[in-house]
Amino acid sequence: MPISAAASVPCIRVRGLHMDFPVPGRRRETARVLHDIDLDIPEGRLTAIVGPSGSGKSTLLLCIAGLEQATAGSIEVLGTDVLSLPPRKQAAFRSANVGFIFQEYNLVSSLTVEDNIALPARLAGHRVPRSRVGDAMSRLGIAQHARRRPDRLSGGERQRVAVARVVANQPRIVFADEPTGALDLKSGHVVLDWLQALPAQGTTVLMVTHDPHAAARADQVVVLGSGQVHAVIPGGDSHAVSDAVLAAQSEDEAGEQAS
């Protein structure tokens, strides 16, 4: 029985997902990072993925986003079986439907702020109206930096550029991997405010975080433990998130001792 983050139309449907990585120095030996994951992510909601260190949070996000190739299983995104697509069509699908926010910002250092914001649309072969780019910069409080390059900005300002890029390009899905991990408290709150606002525009947001307070901003929280879904709980309560992560960690440790 799949675990659903909410009783809603799923935007993302994961079935029987496994992910193995080769063990360095040991030929033909692999380590299983994700184990038989079934998960539905509802459309137009903010879902957080949390769990102990090494539980497979970022790996799950990258597999769903198509940036890592799963070993087995199926992943449907917006009704498309993305694992069945050849690499070029996977890239085209992401370009048309998906936006990314990473801890490392992923900005092009040789481009200005406004050109970085417009870049995804240009790569997809169409143009974002300059007015929409300007509006996104104004809403994120970075309009004064439009002609600057990323190396002239603080970490918080660079992450605002990454969020403005999503706001301007209006993807149907946003994947965010530790989007506040390198930010101070104030900058982190600004980024989370915008991620929390995106579902009101119909955007589905899937966010990995180690911060229970950030996860509590989500509509629902997926808790991983040892590469499996340990629980799915409502958002809104950082203490409940912390308790669920600790429970997953305790279960992991008990399993290691038993083996």
Q: What pLDDT is attached to residue 225? A: 94
* Domain boundaries, given as residue ranges, for the chain: 3-258
Tell me the pLDDT tens digit for each residue of 7-41.
Answer: 456 899 999 999 998 888 777 788 889 999 999 99
Cα separation, 99 vs 58, whole angstroms: 16
Residues contacting 57, CB < 8 A, separation 6+: 49, 50, 51, 208, 210, 224
Q: In the CATH hierarchy, which fold is given to the domain comprising 3-258?
A: Rossmann fold (3.40.50)
Tell me the pLDDT tens digit for each residue of 133-158.
Answer: 999 999 889 999 999 999 999 988 99
pTM score of the predicted model: 0.89
Around 124, how many Cα atoms within 13 Å sit in the side-chain half-sphere? 20
| Residue whose pair of structure tokens reads 């229970």 in the numeric block | 212
